[in-house]
Structure 1
Amino acid sequence: MKYKVFVAGSGGIGEAAALLLREWCEFETEIFLGDVSEENLAKAKNFILQNSQKTSVVETILMSKDGTNEAMKSAFESCACLLDCSPGTQAPRMARFACDFKMHYANLTEYVAETDEVIALAKDAETGFVLQTGLAPGFINVLAMSLYRKFVEQFENETIEKVGMKVGALTAHAHQPHFYGFTWSPIGVATEYVKPSRVVRDYEIRQIPALSDRETIIIGGRTYEADLTSGGAADLPDYFRHKAK
């Protein structure tokens, strides 16, 4: 079985996702890389071809910054799925492409307002929409729900004191001025720190400033700081409203 996948955005995350799809999928894939930069496309395609043992097709599509062009339309019409690795502000635009061309859609973004817009678009979609599928939001939310369901099953009680999700990655080589290992968009990182956080307090959803609830945690005998950021909880605040204090 063969599927054609359009990967929108050929930066570090996009090229890595495309490589994983080509190399590790249980089915054969044809990858269409889309980006507004020819330089990024050439770099990403070269990265995939050099690091993959597979011989399946990898095509590049130069995307328009606004609207569509003939190359985009042709690729969209042939693809089953659009994996959105573009900047978070582009999520509603990419989701509309998926709706218009009847592709399944998945994204990685932590942007809250844009995610709400995509959810509204997806209500009338004929295909599947899987949002916020990265690490946080994404895997951490699946893990939290798994633990919560085990709690409910064991104690037969859906009301809980607290759900806390902490995600972080510490690089071995941190440099001034940020002391942060950027493996994805610095703009996305900044967004998590400056936009409001959606949290549950006293069983209701609140919006409070990011970085406004700092706490100290100790892991393996080392002391770290943790704080609130925007977007990492995905839609769990909606689910845990009236369930978590």
Structure 2
Amino acid sequence: MKKILILGAGKIGRMAAVMLKESGDYAVTLADANGDMLEFCARDDAATLIKVDVTDEAALTEVATGHDAILSTCPFYLNVAIARVARAVGASYFDVTEDVETTRAIREISKGAAGAFVPQCGLAPGFISIAAHDLFKRFDTVKKLRLRVGALPQNPTNRLKYNLTWSTDGLINEYLNPCEAILNGKRVEVLPLEGYERFTIDGTEYEAFNTSGGVGALCDMLEGKVDNLDYKTVRYPGHQEILKILIEDLRLGERPDMMKEIFENALPVTQQDVIVIFADAVGTRNGELCEENFIRKVHGTEIGGKNWSAIQITTSAGLCAVMDMVLTGKLPGTGYVRQEEVGLDDLLANRFGRYYANRQLAV
């Protein structure tokens, strides 16, 4: 039985531990510096619980030794140190980071490593990159590749039409940082909160705008192969305008700590969420201009006798599925592994990835 160390006992780490326990094939250790969070996770009876400060590399190395894989569900700014520890103990490494610079640093750490290093294994980046790359491969030439993802409340009640569903640090990070895209075949940086658009899926209207990190490594891989590529976050109409007031007019973009405090004090957490996933490609096939898209809506469901939110399920499913594919030999077991190396059909057939395999929807 493979030994897995999950770092971070928050929403995603807890869900991943339960998923892995339910499979029956993994012995899981769940570690965090927060004893209260570990005590809460004890109710799941899904993992051995250890209190450790992940910023203490010596202590973390001691805990990590002997594990086959380390899964980080910690904030992005802790992941470079965690990746160094994974390399030192010979474990494979996986995370759900959206931060571009963190991912680049982990790629450097992976060179010559004994295990596989696979950052960005969550929803966006992660699953959306796999779905978009699958569309890309179906065309002879691609003129446009669009990636759209949103984690939304099913029943919005405030003017932002939003509830907190995951890491507030990660949310603010993607609202403030420059965004990668491909324009006329060349990689460019575009501003967050720009590129506004609206669209409808199954009768529900959404807005979308540029945010950082969701495109993953696709720009590295597809520069010169796609005319245009971009990633945008999906929200209900009206969200972007209020964000611009907060971030630009009130200059909270210069004070992310204050912005985090405001969000966490004012926006309630919800378990009643829905994940909207939309990938679209326009290109030529056999000389004919055509279009294909991939659409999913994922809701929360019961796993291990408890109800879990859609963001917990989708993020953890991507993380666990890719780890499972590496440790069972379906993906490379050493060095840096891109999300785009994961086949969409293989992931949807995986025992963890199957949570994405629901019906297609209509645009």
Describe how 1:43-192 pairs up with structure 2 within 5 A: 43-46=40-43, 48-49=44-45, 58-70=47-59, 72-151=60-139, 157=140, 159-176=141-158, 178-192=160-174
Equivalent position amino acid for 1:18 in 2: A
**2:9 match:** 10
How far apart are 1:24 and its partner, in Å? 2.6
Larger % of strand: which? Answer: 2
Higher relative contact order (CA 8 A, sep 6+): 2
**Cα distance, 1:224 vs. partner?**
1.4
Does the 8 Å contact 1:99/1:126 carry over to 2?
Answer: yes
Counterparts of 2:197 and 2:142, CA distance in 1:
21
Quote how far apart the aligned CAs of 1:170 are.
2.5
CA distance in structure 2 between the partners assigned to 1:31 and 1:228 by the alignment: 37
* Residue 202 of structure 1 pairs with residue 204 of structure 2: no
The answer to whether the 8 A contact 1:63-1:69 is kept is no
Unaligned runs of 5+ in 2: 228-363
> Residue 163 of structure 1: SS of its match in structure 2?
strand
Q: Which residue of 2 aligns with 1:154?
A: none
Shift of the 177–92 alpha-carbon distance from structure 1 to 2, 3 Å rule, reads farther
- Report the alpha carbon displacement of residue 65 of structure 1 after superposing the two structures with TM: 4.9
Is residue 2:35 matched to residue 1:38? yes
Give the TM-score normalised by structure 1. 0.87
Q: Does 1:24 align with 2:23?
A: yes
Give, as a single letter, the amino acid of the residue that structure 1 aligns with 2:148: K
Size of the aligned set, in residue pairs, is: 227
CA–CA distance in structure 2, aligned partners of residues 131 and 227 of structure 1 = 24
Q: Helix, strand or coil for the counterpart of 1:16?
A: helix
How far is 1:183 from its partner? 2.2
CA contact (8 A) 1:15 1:45 kept: no
Q: Partners in 2 of 1:20 and 1:98 — Cα distance?
A: 22
In the alignment, is residue 214 of structure 1 matched against residue 203 of structure 2?
no
Q: TM-score scaled to structure 2, two decimals? A: 0.60
Give the RMSD, CA atoms, in angstroms.
Answer: 1.6
